[in-house]
Amino acid sequence: MTNSIRYYVGVDGGGTSCRARITDLNGTLLGEAKTGSANIMLGGQVAMQSIQDAIATAAELAGLGRESFAQMGVGLALAGAEQKSSWREFMALPHPYAHVTLNTDAYGACLGAWDGNDGAILIAGTGSCGIFLSQGQQHIVGGREFPISDQGGGAVMGLRLIQQVLLAVDEIRPMTPLASQVLAHFQHDIDAIVSWSKTARPCDYGQFSPAIFAHAQQGDALAVELLTQTARDIEMWMQALIARGAEHICLMGSIAERIIPWLTPPMQQRVASPLGDAMDGALAMARGNHDLYQL
């Protein structure tokens, strides 16, 4: 099997997007592409389609035909892989690649952040998850998916925003410019918000996070409250990783990278700069067996 591999593919997939990067055996970048959600807990078939679309698009950009798929070693760093049943169901799906190894998006990001060495990261994008790799062991905190976990992520922050907007509508808390913007998004139709909530995905809630950051810069009381709570959530996960032995922690993801100014000074001093990203980690996975579980 190994002798048939001519290309390595790293895939980083979460609740919002899926990225695929193809290199040759020497690590030279050949192509990269991005598609939709690849959280396997939200549907293995949907995630597999996003992955295959991303790889196919990256291959096309690299000038590779479909026959190249059978020559690809693929490392999948995917949200939802921590749930054993989802992992097993996904790995049972057919695929055209020479080899596939699957672990969590946090694992891939941690490998990339610390250049394959031991270390800790906290991802906070749409969702959140912390991981500390030490002497061959994975220590994971959080990451049990929205809405029961993922504190510090954009989806939870967006859910809290919607809740507070409805309280403002009921005149229980003041209406702020941020709350007014959210109402305008739904054409000031409360029934539309309720109907939307019945099928809203994590990324649908997470779409409001840029507005929260923007309004916080203007001193919007609701936005400041939401970011303050998110910062405390991030610190909760950081403290849990520190308790497990982590010295410093790389903060990764759209929320984590922007929340640093909101952290307390002692926690800011614990933040390290990543050496690479989740795509680098996923490519490292493609070069070996990094399965979280065994079939």
Q: How far apart are CA 192 and CA 170, in angstroms?
A: 16
pLDDT value at residue 16: 77
Per-residue model confidence (pLDDT) at position 3: 63
Q: What is the pLDDT of residue 289?
A: 84
Tokens 């490998």 sit at which residue? Answer: 111
- Report the C-alpha gap between 262 and 62 in whole angstroms: 41
The answer to whether domain 2-115+276-286 and domain 154-272 are alike in fold is yes
β-bridge pairing 72-78 and 7-13: parallel
At 159 the pLDDT is 98
Distance CA 228, CA 81 (A): 30
User: What number of CA atoms fall less than 13 Å from residue 208's CA on the CB side?
Assistant: 30
pLDDT along the chain (295 residues), means of 10: 83 90 97 92 91 97 96 94 91 96 91 93 92 92 92 98 98 98 98 98 96 98 98 98 98 94 98 93 92 81
Compute the CA torsion angle 131, 148, 161, 260 (nearest 10 deg).
Answer: -10
Query: What is d(CA 42, CA 44) in angstroms, rounded to the nearest whole number?
Result: 7
**DSSP structure class, residue 188:** T
Q: Identify the CATH number of the domain defined by range 154-272.
A: 3.30.420.40
Identify the CATH number of the domain defined by range 2-115+276-286: 3.30.420.40
What residue ranges do the domains of the chain occupy?
2-115+276-286, 154-272
The C-alpha R_g of the chain, in whole angstroms, comes to 20
The 8-class DSSP code of residue 192 comes to H
For residue 1, the model assigns a pLDDT of 47
- Listed residue (181, 169, 186, 278) closest to 223, CA to CA: 181
Burial group, residue 214, by CB count within 10 angstroms (0-12, 13-18, 19+): middle
